Amino acid sequence: MSIAPTKLRLNDDYTTYYHHYARLLVTGVIPLVALIFFNWRIYNAFKLRRKNMRGKNIFKKYFITAEPSVTLVTQPFPRQ
């Protein structure tokens, strides 16, 4: 019993296309393009959010929403 490479593994076309181009594409180019795309989307979302929030006080919005519920929880029940 001996271990030897198959004919496919010794084929020059297989070596060229799979080991060089396909691996470069799958482990290099596609992840790089995905990283650039997602970082670009995140950057644009932050830029749009900053543009929409210019001149607005976001804390006022949250205070108005939270204040009635805090008042209801912290105030004692009315006496009869």
* Tokens 């979302």 sit on residue: 45
- pLDDT tier, 63 (very low <50, low <70, confident <90, very high otherwise): low
Helix (H/G/I), strand (E/B), else coil: 13: helix
pLDDT 10s digits, 7-58: 988 899 888 888 889 999 999 999 999 999 999 999 999 888 888 777 666 5
pTM: 0.54
C-alpha triplet 11, 19, 32: angle, nearest 5°: 155
C-alpha triplet 56, 71, 76: angle, nearest 5°: 175
